[in-house]
Amino acid sequence: MLATQILFLSTLLPLLQAQETVLGVYIFHRHGDRTSKNFVPTTLTDLGYYQVHAAGDFYRNRYIDANATSKIFGISSDLVKNSQLSVEAPVDTVLQNSAAGFLQGLYPPVGVTLGTQKLANGTSVEAPLGGFQLIPVNAIASAASGANSENSQWLQGQSGCNNAIISSNNYFFSQEYMTELNKTMDFYHSVLPVVNGTFSLAQDNFKNAYLIYDLVHVSQIHNSSIPSDNLLTPETVFQLQTLADNHEYNLAFNLSEPIRAIAGSVLAAQIVQQLNMTITGKSKSQIGIQFGAYASFLSFFGLAQLPKVSDNFTGIVDYASSMTFELVTNATVTDTSYPSNDQISVRFLFSNGTTSEHPLTPYPLFGQSETVLPWNTFVDQMNQFAIGDQADWCTKCGNSTGVCASATSTSTGASGSTTSSPSAGGISKAVAGVIGAMVTLAVILGVEALIMLLAGLRVVNKKRLSGRASPESASAVAKA
Ligand SMILES: *[C@@H]1O[C@H](CO)[C@@H](O)[C@H](O)[C@H]1NC(C)=O
Ligand SMILES: *[C@@H]1O[C@H](CO)[C@@H](O)[C@H](O)[C@H]1NC(C)=O
Ligand SMILES: *[C@@H]1O[C@H](CO)[C@@H](O)[C@H](O)[C@H]1NC(C)=O
Ligand SMILES: *[C@@H]1O[C@H](CO)[C@@H](O)[C@H](O)[C@H]1NC(C)=O
Ligand SMILES: *[C@@H]1O[C@H](CO)[C@@H](O)[C@H](O)[C@H]1NC(C)=O
Ligand SMILES: *[C@@H]1O[C@H](CO)[C@@H](O)[C@H](O)[C@H]1NC(C)=O
Ligand SMILES: *[C@@H]1O[C@H](CO)[C@@H](O)[C@H](O)[C@H]1NC(C)=O
Ligand SMILES: *[C@@H]1O[C@H](CO)[C@@H](O)[C@H](O)[C@H]1NC(C)=O
Ligand SMILES: *[C@@H]1O[C@H](CO)[C@@H](O)[C@H](O)[C@H]1NC(C)=O
Ligand SMILES: *[C@@H]1O[C@H](CO)[C@@H](O)[C@H](O)[C@H]1NC(C)=O
Ligand SMILES: *[C@@H]1O[C@H](CO)[C@@H](O)[C@H](O)[C@H]1NC(C)=O
């Protein structure tokens, strides 16, 4: 009897081994529905809150819940362990609130039983709001999505990267742009009666393609009446959207000028760093989540050659869209055996809108055919365009002042004249400082991971404290 059971189990074993295990994920997420960028300050709407919350709930059922379909190795299912999670968003109300709403879906209130702690004197204390869980959203201002990005009309301005700003600006002098501007003049004037409350005749053209589309799109969702809305046929709205797509994609990416996609380059480095941290820490920190702007998606799509898969990747992603990088393995994973780098792969997935309503679909990156790439291949490919450290950023961006003054060591320059106080104000230094802070943070997290490894679980909570060590970046951004 026992023998047959063992036999039965051993036939199951190969099956169990072939079972894929998710070791960690990185999610880059757009905010939910918001008010129009034409009227600042922009805010997340109830619909937007609903969308990001539903997305959080979707990811919970995929990765975290006790019965999740692809449960992440070692992840805490109900009570959040903040050391396992790194959540970031720029200092921007819409993006910060989107992250907070998402987290409520990811780790919902736990109720009285789990949400109660006993004190030394025997009194029990219930957490407020039915065991609502507190999860910090770290403030960052990388070039991936700048501070206040949802209040900004042109996202590249937030990057602080000189060569990227010049490159994007050059778009407005390109033949492509001139042709489009000219060709669409009549079309834009035909919709003037719809938008003339906000745009003058002189402003109503392709130069403002995104803002005009944003006004119409937001109004169609929220305004019970729109002036001259008989002009807004589905074809016209589609045309407005397509022109906005074209405009924004060209500002975010140009094959001949990769620096234009600085947002995607910085994001690529952040993704590799987080996933690498998951591996080196043996899944002690498994989830990285960043909320950011659509332009960062477009820059990354261009760099990762996703438009080769489909033209869809040159369009602005819908609200609450997300792209997800899963770290997966078919090797056996236990507390005592962790797969080696060459047993680990990465799967890229994208959902065009909230994942609760739009399927999370795998796509092949880097012009390859496989949707699951070996970790080493993934890293090599990402590193072709990733920009992760400050000196590299300064060189490629052609910035040499502020923080970049010390980062780029010029052998010919007069070293004495370049020193300047790091606390001297100005947007440029703030942004550069934040990038520096991020690199520092990554180093801290890496060291912490090592300490955790050596000292065991009790140190985990300390890591959470240092993980929050970005008031540095927050204050830097506040100056910007
Ligand atoms: C897991 O269980 C919960 C509660 O029973 C349920 O709401 C949820 O849909 C389940 N998730 C999956 C992925 O089956
Ligand atoms: C126990 O300690 C808590 C917190 O200090 C206090 O609020 C509560 O009144 C104490 N209960 C008793 C029975 O002393
Ligand atoms: C892309 O860059 C090339 C080379 O600098 C330039 O000729 C072209 O006009 C640019 N295209 C756009 C759309 O900016
Ligand atoms: C558009 O191009 C045509 C022909 O090349 C030219 O005559 C016209 O002046 C241009 N219009 C604008 C608004 O630039
Ligand atoms: C906008 O255009 C419509 C139709 O031409 C006109 O009735 C309305 O007064 C205009 N509104 C503004 C603010 O100019
Ligand atoms: C939609 O409503 C907002 C707020 O009332 C208003 O500012 C905006 O101009 C309206 N949209 C259009 C196209 O009129
Ligand atoms: C991963 O982290 C380790 C330890 O910090 C480092 O040595 C290694 O170069 C990193 N690998 C990648 C691909 O970033
Ligand atoms: C591109 O978008 C269209 C329309 O939404 C959809 O039917 C098609 O499947 C998409 N293609 C890819 C490769 O996702
Ligand atoms: C996402 O949907 C929008 C339409 O709402 C479309 O323009 C865009 O191409 C889509 N992107 C992808 C990657 O499917
Ligand atoms: C695991 O094995 C399955 C079945 O052979 C395969 O489809 C999947 O891509 C593999 N996953 C990895 C990470 O190698
Ligand atoms: C880089 O240089 C540009 C142009 O001088 C400047 O606007 C920007 O603020 C600088 N960025 C940083 C981070 O110093």
Tokens of 190: 């035909």
- Residue 46 Cα to ligand 11 middle (Å): 37
* First-to-last C-alpha distance (Å) of the chain: 73
Residue numbers of the domain that contains 110: 18-116+125-387
Q: Are residues 394 and 382 in the same domain?
A: no
Among 264, 313, 272, 325, residue whose Cα is nearest residue 293: 264
Compute the distance from residue 309 Cα to the ligand 9 centre, in Å.
13
Does residue 193 have a cis bond before it (omega within 30 degrees)?
A: no
Question: Is 4 domain-assigned?
Answer: no
Are residue 288 and residue 416 in the same domain, yes or no? Answer: no
Residues 388/262, Cβ–Cβ less than 8 Å: no
Q: Is the CB of 66 under 6 A from ligand 1?
A: no
Q: Which residue's CA is the nearest one to ligand 1's atom 9?
A: 61
Asked if residue 371 and residue 342 are part of one domain, the reply reads yes
Same-domain pairing of 414 and 380: no
Asked if residue 309 and residue 201 are part of one domain, the reply reads yes
Q: In this structure, which ligand is nearest to the CA of 205?
A: 4
Q: Whose CA is nearest to atom 6 of ligand 9?
A: 315
- Give φ, ψ of 326 to 5 degrees: -100, 130
Report how far residue 43's alpha carbon sits from residue 34's, in angstroms, rounded to the nearest whole number.
6
| Ligand (nearest to CA of 207) | 4
Q: Whose CA is closest to 131, among 79, 75, 65, 58?
A: 79
421 and 356 inside one domain: no
- Asked whether residue 3 is assigned to any structural domain, the reply reads no
Looking up residue 356, the CATH number of its domain turns out to be 3.40.50.1240
Asked if 438 and 142 count as a contact pair (C-beta separation under 8 A), the reply is yes
Instruction: Say whether both 322 and 466 belong to one domain.
Output: no
Q: Which residues pair with 30 in a beta bridge?
A: 292
**Ligand that comes closest to the CA of residue 185:** 4
Q: Are residues 357 and 401 in the same domain?
A: no
Q: Are residues 309 and 439 in the same domain?
A: no
Is 448 part of any domain?
A: yes
Go through the chain and tell me how many residues it has: 480
Residue after which a domain boundary falls, among 387, 410, 430: 387
| Pocket (CB within 6 angstroms of ligand 9) | 245, 312-313, 315, 317-318, 352
CA-CA-CA-CA torsion sign (164, 138, 291, 208):
negative
CA-closest residue to ligand 2 atom 6: 123
Q: Is the pTM of this model over 0.85?
A: no
State which of 179, 181, 182 you would mutate to test the pocket of ligand 4, scoring each by most atoms of that ligand within 8 A of its C-beta.
182
Rounded to an integer, what distance in angstroms lies between the CA atom of residue 456 and that of residue 15?
32
| Nearest protein Cα to ligand 1, atom 2 | 67
- Cα of 312 to ligand 8 centre, how many Å? 6
Decide whether any atom of ligand 1 lies within 6 Å of the 68 Cβ.
yes
pLDDT of residue 416: 30
Domain end position, chosen among 387, 421, 455: 387
The alpha carbon of 364 and the centre of ligand 7 are apart by a number of angstroms equal to 24
Distances (CA, A) of 88 to 2, 141, 142, 273: 52, 9, 10, 14
> In Å, how far from its chain's centre is CA 422?
28
- According to the model, what pLDDT value does residue 149 have? 60
The number of distinct structural domains making up the chain is 2
Same domain, 228 and 301: yes
Average pLDDT per run of 10 along the chain, which is 480 residues long?
43 51 97 93 96 97 96 95 93 94 96 92 94 92 60 62 90 94 96 94 95 96 93 95 96 94 92 95 94 94 97 97 97 92 97 93 96 97 92 89 68 31 29 31 33 31 30 26
Count CB-CB contacts under 10 A for residue 398: 15
**Domain assignment of residue 8, yes or no:** no
Decide whether any atom of ligand 7 lies within 6 Å of the 377 Cβ.
Answer: no
Identify the bridge partners of residue 338 per DSSP, sorted by sequence position: none
Closest-CA residue, ligand 5 atom 5, reads: 193
Q: Which ligand 9 atom sits closest to the C-alpha of 315?
A: 9
Q: Which ligand is nearest to the CA of 222?
A: 6
In a domain, 275, yes or no: yes
Domain co-membership, 403 together with 373: no
Q: Work out the angle at residue 160's Cα, subtended by the Cα atoms of residues 305 and 392, and round it to the nearest 5 degrees.
A: 65
428: phi then psi, degrees, rounded to nearest 5: -60, -50
Residues 287 and 429 in one domain: no
The ligand whose atoms approach the alpha carbon of 173 most closely is 3
- Residue 362's DSSP bridge partners are 349
Tell whether 48 is covered by a domain: yes
Task: Output the 3-class SS for the chain.
Answer: CHHHHHHHHHHHHHHHHHCCEEEEEEEEEECCCECCCCCCCCCECHHHHHHHHHHHHHHHHHHHCCCCCCCECCCCCCCCCHHHEEEEECCCHHHHHHHHHHHHHHCCCCHHHHCEEECCCCCEEECHHHHCCCCCCEECCCCCCCCCHHHCCCHHHHHCCHHHHHHHHHHCCCHHHHHHHHHCHHHHHHCHHHHCCCCCCCCCCHHHHHHHHHHHHHHHHHCCCCCCHHHCCHHHHHHHHHHHHHHHHHHHCCCCCHHHHHHHHHHHHHHHHHHHHHHHCCCCCCEEEEEECHHHHHHHHHHCCHHHCCHHHHCCCCCCCEEEEEEEECCCCCCCCCCCHHHEEEEEEEECCCCCCCCCEECCCCCCCCCEEEHHHHHHHHHCCCCCCHHHHHHHHCCCCCHHHHHCCCCCCCHHHHCCCCCCCCHHHHHHHHHHHHHHHHHHHHHHHHHHHHHCHHHHHHHHHHHCCCHHHHHHHHHC
- In a domain? residue 395: yes
Ligand 7 probe mutation, 277, 280, 344, 346, most atoms within 8 A of CB: 280
Indicate whether 12 belongs to any domain: no
Q: Which two tokens stand for residue 230?
A: 């008989």
CA 176 to ligand 3 centroid distance, Å: 8
The binding-site residues of ligand 8, defined as CB within 6 angstroms of any ligand atom, are 309-310, 312
Q: Cβ distance 204 to 181 under 8 Å?
A: no
Q: Of 387, 408, 429, which residue constitutes the final position of a domain?
A: 387
Q: Which residue, judged by its Cα, is nearest atom 13 of ligand 5?
A: 197
